[in-house]
Every structure is written in C-alpha cells, then in structure tokens.
Structure 1
C-alpha cells in the first residue's frame, strides 16, 4: 500500500512559515535553513530517500494503532535530524559551503536538529509521560548518532575492521532511524518493551540505508568515499578477503585513490569484481532477512505491518551494485517476478 507523505511535507512548510512569523532571530535563521534544505532535496536527488524517512515512522505508528496520522511528529523530527546532520556532514567533508554563512548555518543546524524536535514533541497531543519517553528517544538518537559519526571520522582502513565499521554505521545512520521508529512507537502508546524492539528494527534498517548510500556513491560515479579514504563496509570486506601478504599493497592502492583517477578506477574495479560482490550481497541479504524476521515477530495492524516489509524491500532496490538480487521479504527472487 502507499502512504501519503504529503501531510508531512505540509507540516514542514507550515513549520517554516510559523518560524518566519515569530519575529525571533533564531527562528528566522532556522526557517531559512529549513527552506534551503527542502529546496535542495530535489536538487540532490534525495526526494526518494526523504520519502522513506517519512513513511517509516508513519507506518510504525499505523502498525501500532491502525492510523498513520499520529506518527507525523516523528516523521517531521526525523527529517529535521537529517536536515541538520547532512549540513554538518557536508562541512566535515570540506563543503561545498559559503564561508560567510558557515557560522550562522552551524547554529541554525543545531537549532533545527536538536531544539525544534523538543518543541514539536512538547506540543504533541499525548500524555506527559509519553512526551518524556519521546524526548528521551530524541536525546538517545543524537548521542548515539554523534558516537557513530566520531567513530567514522577516526576510522581508517589500516586500523578499522568490518566490526568497527558496522558499529559506526549503527550510530551515524542507524541511530536516527532507530529514533524515528522508537519515537513513533512512543507516540502510539506502545509499552517500553515494544518500543525497544521497534528501536532495534530502525537501527538495523538504518545500517542497510547506509550500505545503500555507500552503493549510491559508487554507481553514480561520485566516488566521494574513495576520494576521502573512507573505511566503508565494502572496502573492509575487500581488505579482509585478501591474503595478508597482499593487504599492504591494497591499502596503498586505496590511499592513492584519493588523488589518482587511475588508482581510483583500479581500486573501484576490485570493489565491484563479481567474486567480491558475491560475498557482499550474501552479507547484506542476511542483514535484510533479520529485519524482516524482527518485523514478523512484532506484527501489528494490517495492511500497515505488511507495508513496512514492502518499504524496506523497495528501499533496498535503490542503486544496486552488479549482481544484486531482487529482494522479497529478505529472500532472493528472480528479477521481474
């Protein structure tokens, strides 16, 4: 089934208008920041990704209550988090940005990602105990996300492992998705045990979303991860799969890829070789199957519980690497079926 994301976009547009009317300098700065973010979604080709971010909490709330509408605050908070995080991540990667606006936009990003969500949760029409639990999820999401991003900043292929890279993914991308699912479950009045299980589903899905983002970087030819020397999951699987005597040479090739187009093409060829991607697809397939099994145990109101399965499978079809399977409930199916 299709969940209409329009009302959430309307909520965001109304939020921008409300901030502009307040007359407060901080509100005006956040309004300008948010308007720029919304305008850039299409320019960056991120509209589809934003719709996944929106649909996830709407469907979680609907699975709990039969009604997606109560998940709208969680969907807005999720997008606010990403509006701030993407800007800060762009700064960390060296731009592009206007130095004259940098300091103002950093402050606006902090307000949009941290303080606007608090305001929205406080205004939600739920009991105070629910608001306290929801605010705890926002705080947890930020702290876990910061931890993951700090791990990512310091991770270099020579010292990293597959495990440490996955740990950073669980934070920098898993944490906001975990926040979105747990926040939606809180607003739906789910008990703490179910909230925790929804949080786990969100975190696992967030890791898969980061893997899709890694794939996008390769298949679109941006190759920013290679230019930045990033220790991605795909890179670490490649390094772990070569004999010890070849590791140093492969690390040197990866380092050269940052500045050499020839080295970048050679290393990318190794990353996308069929024999390497076969193992990668097996690992990703297993992760996806785990998310589906968790959703099966959670159950929920139909058709929304089933729509969550569809959302996750559909999201994983974006930017496939060569040899990628078509997914259906975490199982491979022939293409075109």
Structure 2
C-alpha cells in the first residue's frame, strides 16, 4: 500500500533526512562546533523512520497527485519530532547528545529546542514559495507548536487531572494531534487558501494524530500500558475503563492507579483489569468510531485516489494497533 507514493517509503524518508540535514547545515553555517554536531546527533538518535511520518506527503498526493511538493513539510515534521522526542526523554529523567549523558537543564534542552523550533522555521524560510504560503506555514508551525506544548504540559501534570474520555481526548489532540494537524494544513495550503477547507484538514490531521497516539499507547504487545501506569499518564483506555465501571470497580481502579506508580503488584493488577475483554471490546468500539469519523472526513476532503487509499490504510492500521493488546 505504501508503494502508491511512487517511491518506496525508505526513499521518501531518505529525501526528508537529507533535507533535514541540509537545513541544519544552512542554519548553522555561521556556528561551528556543538550546535551543528549536536543537532545532527539528535537526528541520528531519533531516526523518524515510521511510515506515518510521511503523512504530509501523502496529504499532498491525495490533493494534487504531486506528493513531492510536500517534502519540505516532511522535513519540518522530521526536525520537530526529533526535538519533541528529545524533550520527552529529558522530561523522563536524562538524555543523551553525541554519546554524552546530560541532565535536563543542560545543553540537551537547548539543542532539542533548536531542533524542534528554530531550525524548522529556517527550513521554511529557505523554500522557494510564494510569500503568502511561507507566512501561512510559519503561522501554522508556531500555533501548532504552542498547542502541542500545552498538550504535553497537561500530560505531564495529568496524574492530578480528572481521567475522563473528554479530558484525555483534549490532551491527545494537543500533544500528538497538533503536529499531524500542522502537516495536514501545510500540505493542503500548497493547493488551497480556503480557510474552511484548511480548518477541516487540520481537524483531520488531529484525528490522525490521536489515532497514532492510541496506537503508541498499546505498543509492544501492550507493554506500553504498563509504562503509562508507572508514569501516571492519562490514557484513553484508562478513561474508558473508569467511565464504564460500576461504582465499586471505579473506586478500585482509582486506588490501583494511585499505587501503580510505585507498587508493581498494583500495576500488574490494574494492567490486567484494563486488558479484560469487557473493557477492551467497548474500547475497540470507541476507537473504531474515531477511525470512522476520520475516514468520513477524508472522503469529503479528497477525491478518490491511491493516495487517499493510503491515508485510509494508515488510519485503519493505527486503529488496529490501538486495540491489539490482549489479556
């Protein structure tokens, strides 16, 4: 299915990587030393080889049949995600730059911020685009970066937040939906300036990112569930379990969630409760509804094509991964 991009995913990812490195070189041409080496090391450490990261390129293909026009969108996304992943790792404790372990208040923070914010703006400014598209891309990058930052901050503070389906949806739309919404809008802006259409593509991108997040929650045959419980992270699966539980079970799940951060027994018990068929079947239905909403919106936004089929394929794949964990 990924072959509809006219070249294998590895070729597109290679093109995006080359453009990202060129962006680093251009941005750092007057700054030798750790800045250039550190940014290159971040790109090496976070390779961004997930096919879904070609999302913006696929959107451009679905709209115009010319996916290559959105390679700069993929480049901005590649740099942004490397910086975001580095900051996420640092928030969990320590990070590494060029083989050197550094604390969160060290140079790794500066490099992660430069990679995720400053260099992407430099990449946009290097593109031979009409000024109005350049300005639109800059506004989109700034706005969605702020949205993603707010979502990530809410996620880090989520242990004290109400664990409801609506609350977690808002968090996911921010921390993961925003960057995919950015890619969708930037790619769509190459062919339209209609604000209603661009808003719709942003919503579609946010839904796509939301499904990518729930797929990530269930990564590694469900072990991601245990990692989230240890971190006290709000997840849609936990929210669903709490909202559909009876009063006694609800209170038990809340108690287990509190203890699961430090008590392996409580974590295992809560993990088992979340994997019970009565919980997972209802969760699968709700994830399927989100997938169907995204697919219906896509069909309204883009004409039938192989590239639109590819986006459907990625949506369905994310939904399947999200509910793949079994008891």
TM-score range, shorter chain: 0.7 to 0.9
Given the superposition, is the C-alpha separation of residues 101 and 66 from structure 1 closer, same or farther in structure 2, using an over 3 Å criterion? same
Q: Deviations over 1:96-117 (max 9, x none)?
A: 5422685212111111111111
Match of 1:280 among 279, 283, 290: 283
Q: Deviations over 1:174-205 (max 9, x none)?
A: 00000011111113345332221111100011
Q: Counterparts of 2:294 and 2:180 in 1: how far apart (Å)?
A: 13
Inter-partner Cα distance in structure 1 for 2:33 and 2:206: 31
Indicate how the Cα distance of structure 1 residues 59 and 18 shifts in structure 2: closer, same or farther if over 3 A, else same. Answer: closer
Structure 2 residue 262 is matched with structure 1 residue 259: yes
Whole-Å separation in 1 of the counterparts to 2:132 and 2:22: 30
What are the Cα deviations for residues 256-314 of structure 1, in whole angstroms up to 9, with x where unaligned?
A: 22122222111110000000001100000000000000011112362222222122223
1:168 to 145, 166, 171: 171
Which string of whole-angstrom CA distances, capped at 9 and with x for unpartnered residues, describes residues 81-124 of structure 1?
11111111111122354226852121111111111111111222
Counterpart of 2:123 in structure 1 is 120
- Report the RMSD for the aligned CA atoms in angstroms: 2.5
Scaled by the length of structure 2, what TM-score is found?
A: 0.88
Structure 2 match to 1:134: 137
Instruction: Please give the alpha-carbon distance, in whole angstroms, between the structure 1 residues aligned to 2:78 and 2:46.
Output: 13
Match of residue 71 from structure 2: 72
Which residue of 2 is the match for residue 327 of structure 1? none
List 4+ stretches of structure 1 deviating above 6 A: none
Alignment of 1:1-337 (within 5 A): 1=1, 2=3, 3=5, 4=7, 5=9, 6-16=11-21, 19-20=24-25, 22-25=28-31, 29-41=35-47, 47=49, 50-54=50-54, 56-97=55-96, 98-99=101-102, 103-156=106-159, 159-216=162-219, 219-220=222-223, 223-300=226-303, 302-318=305-321, 320-322=323-325
SS in 2 for 1:316: helix
> TM-score with structure 1 length normalisation?
0.85
Instruction: Determine the structure 2 residue equivalent to 1:332.
Output: none
For these two proteins, the number of residue pairs brought into alignment is: 317
**Residues 221 and 168 (structure 1 numbering): CA distance in 2 closer, same or farther, change over 3 Å?**
closer
